[in-house]
Amino acid sequence: MKLTTLDDWLSGPEAQANPIRGRRVFVRADLNVPLDSGRIVDDSRLKASVGSVKRLCTAGARVILASHLGRPKGERVDSLSLAPLAPAFSERSGLPVTFVEDCVGETAATAANALGEGEVLLLENLRFHRGETQNQPEFSRALATLAELYVNDAFGTAHRAHASTVGMVAHASAAAAGDLMLDEIQHLSAILRPERPLLCLLGGGKVSDKLGALQNLAERADILAVGGAMAYTFLAARDEAVGNSRVESDRIGEAQRLLDRAAAGQYELLLPTDHVVSQTLDGSGESKIVRSIPAGWMGVDIGPETAARYAAAAHAARTLFWNGPMGIFEIEPFAKGTEHVARAVADSPATSVVGGGDSLAAVNGLGIGNRVGHRSTGGGASLEFVQGLELPGLKALEQ
Ligand code: ADP
Ligand code: MG
């Protein structure tokens, strides 16, 4: 993969021929931060996006900064306005940031043209227009008219072929990958070229979300360890008791094939051997640790023996990737399995990568996030990248 970088623009031979100073640069960032009535709950994505914008502004660029926030489905949703992020970005970057209440059209163009060197214009939520997620050519062109140069620093959206990540790129006179994008690619590439053994720990709420990923990861991993609700579909495939646990019956066949390939020795597939079960999902009722899930009970976390087995696998791994909590970790009595695994990932000498909003919340909540090798800002994007899949946003930058 050969991508043009900010280094190429700012210090390479291109920099002399084509200086950045005074030019309008469209920066697609991922400022999709969790908001609670306008208050930023977690600013990691915001902070991670500062670096590239700062370098461009220092070089005298006029930066037009764009992002999506949430899923407004093509219409204006006031609670998903990017307006509160303008002062927040300014505070974290020390740059002057103004906000414009649309991302295309007359107002956006006027604001972009009025921008001075080293200044930032934050556009309103890209997804207030249907053309963004539908990658409509007219919308792509409209975005592209705002700037001459294009930078994609939104790793978290690189797996989506949207107007701001793919459609508009061809209209720019030059396009580059931002620093965050490059950092993510560099760290995640360790999973594609692993020191062995490579362990992939996968969990979360739905097997259908991640079954495809498991199938692809099975091609490269030495050990797959499955937790979360995904595990029960595998137990059902082995005809084990699952009680009322969340099972996706239409996926049992695929789970069966993954078990068969493991039995044939292609990789090791670890499944829970004990479980935390409960009759209610909100933590209000009784919970207990069992080997076999009784009728009327549901699996809500991996049991302590399973957590210890997965932790041992994490310690023995040379490379490891984790996506998806091991149980309903938001509920305190069901969080122990995820916590045990999170600590093992942090303590492991392996090159480690954690992706996924909930998995990161679990690690960060324990205060051990800085001991993980790499915390990816992209959940879905990192999961696709480590499978060796081509991300549309990266492909567009290569062309
Ligand atoms: P990430 O954000 O790290 O990619 P996911 O969004 O895929 O992770 O999964 C996280 C969700 O999975 C959490 O909300 C958690 O409560 C849920 N989950 C984990 N284990 C179970 C379970 N046994 N039953 C139901 N939901 C579960
Ligand atoms: Mg999640």
Which atom of ligand 1 is the closest one to the Cα of 379? Answer: 4
Identify which ligand lies nearest to the alpha carbon of 228: 1
| CB-based contact 104:141 (threshold 8 Å) | no
Give per-residue pLDDT as tens, 90-102: 999 999 999 999 9
Q: Is the CB of 227 under 6 A from ligand 1?
A: no
Q: Determine the pLDDT at residue 42.
A: 87
d(CA 209, CA 233): 13
Cα–Cα separations (whole angstroms), residue 169 to 6, 19, 68, 175:
16, 20, 17, 7
Is the predicted pLDDT of residue 1 greater than 80, yes or no?
A: no
Cα–Cα separations (whole angstroms), residue 288 to 138, 174, 285, 291, 293:
57, 59, 10, 10, 10
What are the φ/ψ torsions at residue 193 (nearest 5 degrees)? -125, 70
Q: Which amino acid is at 352?
A: S
What are the φ/ψ torsions at residue 226 (nearest 5 degrees)? -110, 130
Q: Is the CB of 358 under 6 A from ligand 1?
A: yes
Mean pLDDT confidence for 318-338: 97
Mean pLDDT confidence for 298-303: 98
Q: Determine the pLDDT at residue 314.
A: 98
Q: Which amino acid is at 238?
A: R
Going by their DSSP bridges, the two strands 39-40 and 35-36 should be labelled as: antiparallel
Q: Which two tokens stand for residue 113?
A: 């043209």
Mean pLDDT confidence for 95-112: 98
Mean pLDDT confidence for 99-121: 98
Q: Is the CB of 283 under 6 A from ligand 1?
A: no
Going by pLDDT thresholds of 50, 70 and 90, the confidence category of residue 208 is: confident
Mean pLDDT confidence for 59-74: 97
Q: Determine the pLDDT at residue 38.
A: 83
Going by pLDDT thresholds of 50, 70 and 90, the confidence category of residue 162 is: very high
- DSSP bridge pairs for 24: 62
Whether 380 is a known active-site residue: answer yes
Mean pLDDT confidence for 323-329: 97
Q: Which of 288, 286, 360, 348 is nearest to 320 (CA)?
A: 348
Name which residue sits closest to atom 18 of ligand 1, judged by CA: 205
Q: Which of 341, 12, 28, 1 is nearest to 160 (CA)?
A: 28
Domain boundaries, the chain: 6-185, 194-386
Q: Is the CB of 204 under 6 A from ligand 1?
A: yes
Q: In CATH, what is the architecture of 194-386?
A: 3-Layer(aba) Sandwich (3.40)
Q: Determine the pLDDT at residue 14.
A: 72
d(CA 295, CA 245): 10
Q: Is the CB of 228 under 6 A from ligand 1?
A: yes
- DSSP bridge pairs for 353: 321, 374
DSSP state of 276: E
User: What average pLDDT does the chain have?
Assistant: 96
Q: In CATH, what is the architecture of 6-185?
A: 3-Layer(aba) Sandwich (3.40)
DSSP state of 194: P
Q: Determine the pLDDT at residue 209.
A: 82
d(CA 227, CA 250): 19
| CB-based contact 61:118 (threshold 8 Å) | yes
Domain 6-185 identical in fold to domain 194-386:
yes
Is the predicted pLDDT of residue 274 greater than 90, yes or no?
A: yes
Going by pLDDT thresholds of 50, 70 and 90, the confidence category of residue 156 is: very high
Mean pLDDT confidence for 144-164: 97
d(CA 159, CA 166): 10
For 32-178, where are the alpha helices, taking DSSP H only? 44-58, 85-93, 105-114, 130-133, 137-144
Q: Determine the pLDDT at residue 306.
A: 98
Q: Which amino acid is at 49?
A: S
Whether 357 is a known active-site residue: answer yes
Mean pLDDT confidence for 197-205: 97
Name which residue sits closest to atom 24 of ligand 1, judged by CA: 229
Q: Determine the pLDDT at residue 109.
A: 98
Give per-residue pLDDT as tens, 5-62: 999 999 877 777 778 999 999 999 999 998 888 899 889 899 999 999 999 999 999 9
Name which residue sits closest to atom 5 of ligand 1, judged by CA: 204
d(CA 360, CA 336): 15
Cα–Cα separations (whole angstroms), residue 388 to 156, 162, 254, 382:
16, 20, 20, 10
Sheet arrangement for strand 120-123: 97-100, 120-123, 62-66, 24-28, 149-152, 174-177
